[in-house]
């Protein structure tokens, strides 16, 4: 089974039923604590407590914790790409995917054309 690190953008597209993300429903899902936090916050910010509870319960099983070296490398990647305005979460997720030898699944325009990214709009 093919796996991806799903970023928050990708998870929200799946939740919203974007047909372009349908083929990824049967793939392995990897997220980290930062993606999980962004997902929960997005629903709570919009007052969608039940949705937050539903999806946090569904996706918590896919959390993998990035190690210190991954975080350090991610911050180097962020510094080297500061013109792209990448978030720390985005960079950690990207480097985590590379270290796991899988791709980052995203539709964030900042990642369009970057190696090791499955960019889906």
Q: State which H helix or E strand residue 75 sits in.
A: helix 68-80
For strands 3-6 and 28-30, give the pairing.
parallel
Q: How far apart are the first and last CA of the chain?
A: 23
What is the reported pLDDT for 91?
98
Is the model's pLDDT at 1 over the cut of 90?
no
Total number of domains constituting the chain: 1
Is the model's pLDDT at 104 over the cut of 90?
yes
What is the reported pLDDT for 59?
98
What is the reported pLDDT for 89?
98
Angle at 89 between CA 11 and CA 93, to 5 degrees: 70
Domain with 55, as residue range(s), is 3-119
Q: Mind listing the pLDDT tens digit for each residue in 33-71?
A: 999 999 999 999 999 999 999 999 999 999 999 999 999
Pair of tokens at residue 52: 């937050």
Average pLDDT, the chain: 97
CATH number for the domain spanning 37: value is 3.40.50.1010
Q: Mind listing the pLDDT tens digit for each residue in 16-30?
A: 999 999 999 999 999
């Amino acid at each position: 089974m093919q796996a991806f690190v799903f970023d928050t953008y990708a998870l929200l597209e799946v939740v919203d039923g974007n047909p372009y993300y349908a083929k990824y429903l049967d793939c392995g899902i990897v997220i980290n604590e930062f993606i999980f936090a962004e997902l929960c916050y997005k629903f709570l910010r919009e007052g969608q407590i039940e949705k937050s509870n539903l999806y946090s319960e569904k996706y918590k099983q896919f959390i993998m914790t990035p190690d210190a070296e991954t975080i350090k490398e991610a911050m180097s990647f962020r510094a080297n790409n500061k013109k792209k305005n990448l978030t720390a979460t985005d960079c950690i997720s990207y480097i985590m995917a590379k270290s796991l030898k899988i791709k980052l699944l995203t539709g964030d325009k900042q990642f369009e054309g970057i190696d090791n990214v499955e960019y889906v709009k």
